[in-house]
């Protein structure tokens, strides 16, 4: 009886122990499942918050992108407007530049024609004047303006008129005078002839008495100088011969200056003074004859050559420039 009771008690304990184990296992399993679910919920919540944050960032980026797109569009519109303005300005500049270039060329043509007239009137230089007219004609051709054709026609007329002008040979006259100046020292004068005769007497073989007398006279030369009143103006003191020739040199030099200045009257006066000098102080000789012949040739030149007018084109271009730039 007791054994049976003990057996039943043992069975009960085992059953309760089994039940208790099952309960503990069930509780543990339930707690583990709950913990796992809670962790998943936390992870989902974290992911949700992260997604929400990314969503807000994406929205902000979308807003910023829209603003940037608007700014880019505005900049494109502004750039297009500036391009239009720039294109208009370029067109205006091109128009102004073309007009300014034509105006500048016209003014340059006027200055070239003015300088050509100055070279012909003031300097009597038809070669330089013709070169300036050719430059003006080339500029007129570059303008391609039919309105300027009358000016170009007048310019061609001026060029033909200039070609008929024959200026005096200033360089030839100047070099002829220069050659005459270099020949002055070879002209025989009364004084040089007298000196030559005295030298010939001194070099001749004198006697002993003449030697003695000559030595005494040479000793007195430094003490006494005898001068005579010149009945013949061509015979001057021997030491003045160099100044006599210098006088002729200055006369011909003045003739050179007068021809460069275009003073024909003064030029002829100097040439006549040189001829008078030759007739007064120079001995008859081949040198004198050639010298006088050259002076007579120079007197045949005419410096005051009538000038031609080349102001037709200049008058027309001045009128055209005034009308173009009132």
Confidence label for 20 from pLDDT (cuts 50, 70 and 90): confident
Closest CA to 165 of 138, 209, 133, 142: 133
Cα separation, 69 vs 71, in Å, equals 5
Q: Are residues 286 and 178 in the same domain?
A: yes
Question: For the chain, what percent of residues have pLDDT higher than 90?
Answer: 11
Q: Are residues 186 and 284 in the same domain?
A: yes
Kindly state the greatest CA–CA separation across the chain.
Answer: 218
Q: Are residues 278 and 182 in the same domain?
A: yes
Q: Are residues 182 and 300 in the same domain?
A: yes
Which two tokens mark 320? Answer: 């055209």
Cα separation, 211 vs 202, in Å, equals 10
Give the model confidence (pLDDT) of 141-159 as tens digits. Answer: 988 888 889 999 999 998 8
pLDDT score for 234: 46
What is the tally of structural domains in the chain?
2
Is residue 51 a part of any domain in this protein? no
Q: Are residues 178 and 256 in the same domain?
A: yes
Cα separation, 109 vs 318, in Å, equals 10
Is residue 25 a part of any domain in this protein? no
- Which is more confident, 196 or 136? 136
Cα separation, 1 vs 115, in Å, equals 162
Q: How far is CA 36 from the centre of its chain?
A: 97
Is residue 28 a part of any domain in this protein? no
Q: Are residues 151 and 254 in the same domain?
A: no
pLDDT score for 164: 78
pLDDT at 195 over 60: no
Q: Are residues 263 and 314 in the same domain?
A: no
Q: Are 191 and 236 in contact (CB under 8 A)?
A: yes
Length of the chain: 326
Give the model confidence (pLDDT) of 280-293 as tens digits. Answer: 887 788 888 899 99
pLDDT at 303 over 80: no
Predicted structure pTM score: 0.45
pLDDT score for 2: 57
Which two tokens mark 36? Answer: 């796992």
Is residue 9 a part of any domain in this protein? no
Is residue 4 a part of any domain in this protein? no
Q: Are residues 147 and 247 in the same domain?
A: no
Is residue 54 a part of any domain in this protein? no
Q: Are residues 159 and 134 in the same domain?
A: yes
Identify the three-state secondary structure at position 305.
coil
Question: Rounded mean pLDDT of 7-21?
Answer: 76
DSSP string, 120-159: HHTS--HHHHHHHHHHHHHHHHHH--GGGHHHHHHHHHHH
Give the model confidence (pLDDT) of 216-256 as tens digits. Answer: 555 554 444 444 444 444 445 555 677 878 888 999 999 88
Q: What is the domain range of residue 316?
A: 83-166+309-324
Q: Are residues 95 and 178 in the same domain?
A: no
Is residue 177 a part of any domain in this protein? yes
Question: Rounded mean pLDDT of 290-315?
Answer: 84
**Among 48-52, 85-89, 264-268, which range has the highest average pLDDT?**
264-268
Give the model confidence (pLDDT) of 78-117 as tens digits. Answer: 777 877 777 776 666 555 555 667 888 888 999 999 999 8
pLDDT at 313 over 80: yes
Q: Which residues pair with 120 in a beta bridge?
A: none
Is residue 250 a part of any domain in this protein? yes
Identify the three-state secondary structure at position 234.
coil
Q: Are residues 299 and 185 in the same domain?
A: yes
Q: Are residues 190 and 257 in the same domain?
A: yes
Lowest-confidence region among 16-20, 224-228, 261-265? 224-228
pLDDT at 15 over 80: no
Confidence label for 202 from pLDDT (cuts 50, 70 and 90): low
């Amino acid at each position: 009886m007791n054994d049976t009771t003990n057996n039943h008690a043992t069975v009960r304990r085992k059953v309760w122990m089994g039940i208790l184990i099952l309960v503990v296992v069930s509780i543990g399993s339930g707690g583990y499942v709950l913990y796992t679910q809670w962790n998943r919920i936390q992870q989902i919540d974290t992911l949700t918050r992260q997604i929400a944050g990314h969503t807000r960032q994406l929205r902000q980026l979308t807003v910023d992108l829209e603003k940037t797109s608007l700014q880019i569009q505005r900049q494109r519109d502004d750039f297009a407007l500036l391009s239009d303005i720039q294109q208009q300005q370029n067109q205006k500049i091109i128009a102004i530049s073309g007009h300014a270039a034509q105006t500048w060329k016209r003014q340059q043509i006027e200055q070239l024609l003015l300088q050509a007239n100055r070279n012909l009137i003031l300097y009597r230089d038809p070669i330089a004047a013709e070169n300036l007219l050719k430059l003006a004609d080339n500029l007129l051709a570059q303008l391609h303006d039919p309105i300027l054709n009358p000016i170009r026609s007048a310019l061609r007329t001026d060029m033909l008129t200039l070609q008929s002008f024959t200026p005096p040979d200033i360089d030839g006259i100047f070099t002829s005078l220069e050659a005459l100046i270099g020949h002055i020292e070879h002209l025989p004068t009364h004084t040089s002839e007298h000196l030559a005769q005295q030298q010939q007497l001194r070099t001749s073989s004198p006697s002993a008495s003449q030697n003695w007398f000559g030595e005494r006279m040479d000793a007195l030369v430094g003490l006494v100088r005898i001068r005579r009143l010149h009945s013949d103006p061509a015979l001057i003191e021997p030491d003045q011969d160099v100044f006599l020739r210098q006088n002729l040199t200055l006369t011909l030099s003045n003739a050179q200056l007068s021809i460069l200045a275009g003073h024909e009257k003064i030029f002829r006066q100097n040439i006549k003074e040189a001829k008078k000098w030759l007739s007064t102080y120079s001995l008859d000789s081949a040198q004198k004859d050639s010298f006088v012949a050259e002076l007579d040739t120079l007197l045949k030149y005419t410096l005051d050559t009538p000038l031609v007018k080349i102001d037709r084109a200049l008058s027309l271009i001045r009128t055209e420039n005034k009308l173009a730039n009132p």
